[in-house]
Structure formats: structure tokens, C-alpha cells
Amino acid sequence: MTYFKGAACGRAGCCRKVRRRPKWRDASAYRAATVSEWKAQLESGGLAALKSRPRGRPAGLDAAQRRELMRALTGGAVADGFATDLWTLRRVGQLIERHIARPYSKSQV
């Protein structure tokens, strides 16, 4: 369903056309291909096959490295050699590189 946000006067750039998305619980919101994939997974592996799995890229730090990073962060930025006690993304990246010898960019932190 489509509706106009603001007055629907028809002048260029005046009104914005917005498309409503169906609610996730609405069955019509799912593509037929997605439903077919779910059905195939259910038939091949049962309910366990439909359980959610981790998505995205795996974490770059293991549990011990994350604990070490948390200790360093809670110790404060000044204790780690920075001029102020403010943690920024760049500083956290530098901290990871110093303590764990793995470079991280600002977008990865």
C-alpha cells in the first residue's frame, strides 16, 4: 500500500511517496522462495535445522583476548598512556593493536 507523506499536491519535490512494509508476522511478507527454503530445511533436518544460526563474520578476538581487552579498558585510557581518560574508537583500535597485536580500523571496533 502506498500513501503520501504531507500534502499530495503532485508538485515535484513537494511530497514524498512512502511505501508501507507489511508486518513481519504477516504471511504475505515472506517470499515464496524463503518459505520453500524453510520447508526443505525442515524436511531434511527437522526442527533443529530451523534454529537460528550465528550470522555474519565470526569475532576476531577469542574469549581470553576479550577479557584482556576489557581489563585494559576498565583500567582507563590514562593508565594505557593516553593524555585523557576518554576512550575513542581510534584509541580502542590502538589498544587492541598494542595488547593483542591485531590491527583494527575504527569501523571494526
Asked if 100 and 68 touch (Cβ cutoff 8 Å), the reply is yes
The pTM of this model reads 0.49
The three grid cell numbers given for residue 57, joined into one nine-digit string: 563474520
At 78-93, the pLDDT tens digits run 999 999 999 999 999 9
Instruction: Report the alpha-carbon distance of residue 34 to residue 53 in Å, rounded.
Output: 16
More confident of the two residues 18 and 34 = 34
Q: What CA–CA distance (Å, rounded) separates 9 from 47?
A: 52
Residue with cell 518459505: 35
* 23 — pLDDT class (breaks 50, 70, 90): low
